[in-house]
Amino acid sequence: MAYLSRAEARALAERVLGFSRAEQARVSIDSGATGNTRFASNQISTAGDVTDTTVTITSAFGRRVASSTTNLLDDASLRAAVQTSERLAPLSPEDPEYLGELGPVPVPERDSVFATTAELSPEARARAVAEVTTPAAARSLVATGFAVHRTGSSAVMTTRGQFAYQASSNANFSTTVRTPDGDGSGWAGAGFFDWNELDAGSLAARAMEKAERSRGARDVEPGRWVTILEPTAVANMLGLMMGALGARAADEGRSFFSRPGGGNRIGERFVDDRVTIWSDPLDPRLFTTPFTEEGLPNRREVWVENGVLRTLTYNRYWAQRQNREPTGFPTGYYMEGGDATLDDMIRSTERGLLVTRFWYIRSVDPRTILYTGLSRDGTFMIENGRVAHPVKNLRWNESPVFMLGNIEMIGRPVRVSPSESSEVASAVVVPPLKVRDFTFTSVSDAV
């Protein structure tokens, strides 16, 4: 097995903690195998199969804490890593926020390893790639893309008796198909746990159609547009808000979620009342991480309910200080949807834009979670209820909280490939949205 089983992880953790002389210690172990295949110009360009196991030891003397990581698993190297953290910790100033290691706390159990993903071969990846490159070549298009999968386990053990373990599989497939003259470009991608869920042929069909339909893009005026965001674009935006949910920054007055005059905005309605977003480690659509790096169980958490901010993210220290329960972090999340289809959204639009995905998203103003970025790989004008023609890509300066305040229609949630780099990522399940007043600030010539 390319990753440590529960028994192996426990044995390794015990071996590491056996070397510990600290007052308290914690060991975290990540092991697994990652495989990937890249393609460009309708052929495989590179591939990689990598196995690794990393061990991180955190040692504490009083409130003096330090960590050390190694991937060398012989006793001497592990002992050396333990000793490094034990040498550094007493030299460090006291950390008033260190709460000590956890004792035994039950962690939700679930199995999300899929043999179809765990045992995937380079040949199987190559077959999936051919489902894209063969039709693309036949249509005189140029396909580029990335298939990636990881199966691994992580474990945490403390000297005070906590042990948590999970193993999981995850995968992602994405392709960008371009016309040979570089005048059109279309993207499609998906994330999934079970490799059998991959339908590379239908992703290829979507990307090819977008590539061909995006030829001859016309100029478009920047400004505030009715915009239909496909689910990937919604996830690109929503992730920015989910990353800004820190309670501490809010309470310290340096966040959108700060309440003017002090405190935070928990309990306030801040977006459209159809918006509900939650995380749940046991929901098979998400399988979000069941425990934190400290070994604290994650539980179901509703972040936004009917437009109201229900909670922010609290680590153990800030939770204790503010007299709240600690929360996990929403790496994966589910946004509830509605019944509208993408076609309904298009049909109901007199004049608007349709966006496939966003790119190069960077923070502009944390006071409003304002970011900038651009559309790419399929941006279209909608006129009188139908897709009229492709338009040039646009730069936007916009905030997810404004976007969620301007919703007109919500579609059915689907799991997407949420990161710009199409890596293996925590599950993000979001609906397509039709919003008003999405702020585009300039036009790009990039295809």
DSSP one-letter string for 352-417: EEEEEEEEEEEEEETTTTEEEEEEEEEEEEEETTEEEEEB--EEEEE-HHHHHHSEEEEB--EE--
Nearer to another protein, 60 or 340 (CB): 60
Distance separating alpha carbons of residues 100 and 103, to the nearest angstrom: 9
The nearer residue to another protein, 124 or 282, going by C-beta atoms, is 124
Choosing from 8, 23, 49, 283, the residue that interacts with another protein (CB under 8 A) is: 49
Residue span 146-185 as binding mask against another protein, x where in contact by CB under 8 A, dash where not: x-x-------------------------xxx-x---x--x
Cα angle 421, 423, 428; round to 5: 100
Select from 32, 145, 152, 418 the one that contacts another protein (CB under 8 A): 145
Q: Which residue of 20, 112, 144, 154 would you call a contact of another protein, by CB under 8 A? A: 144
Helix axes 122-138, 200-213, angle to 10 degrees: 30
Best CA proximity match to 17, nearest among 185, 160, 215, 220? 160
Question: Could you say whether residue 119 binds another protein (CB under 8 A)?
Answer: no
Among 41, 196, 202, 341, binds another protein (CB under 8 A): 41
Interaction of residue 268 with another protein, rule CB under 8 A: no
The footprint of another protein on this chain (CB under 8 A) covers a number of residues equal to: 103
Output 106 or 180, the one with its CB closest to another protein.
180
Strand order through the sheet with 277-279:
308-309, 301-305, 277-279, 333-335, 428-430, 414-415
**Contact call for residue 7 and another protein (CB under 8 A):** no
Whichever of 65 and 167 has its CB closer to another protein, that residue is 65
Site for another protein in 236-255 (CB under 8 A): 252-254
- What CA–CA distance (Å, rounded) separates 49 from 444? 37
What residues between 181 and 200 interact with another protein by CB under 8 A?
182, 185, 187
Does residue 93 belong to the site contacting another protein (CB under 8 A)?
A: yes
Name the β-bridge partners of 354: 228, 380
Contact criterion met (CB below 8 Å) for 274 and 433: no
Minimum gap (Å) between residue 309 Cβ and another protein: 18
Region 288-327 residues binding another protein, contact defined as CB under 8 A? none
**372-431 binders of another protein (CB under 8 A):** 372-374, 376, 393, 395, 397, 399, 420-423
Contact status: 83 vs another protein (CB under 8 A): no
Q: Kindly write out the interface string for residues 201-220 of this chain, putting x where it contacts another protein by CB under 8 A and - elsewhere.
A: --------------------
Amino acid at the residue 282: L
Half-sphere exposure of 432 (CA within 13 A, CB side): 18
Between CA 236 and CA 241 the distance in angstroms is 10
Q: Which is nearer to another protein, 341 or 442 (CB)?
A: 442
Residue 7 CB neighbour total at 10 angstroms = 9
Please state the closest distance from residue 109 (CB atom) to another protein, in A.
Answer: 28
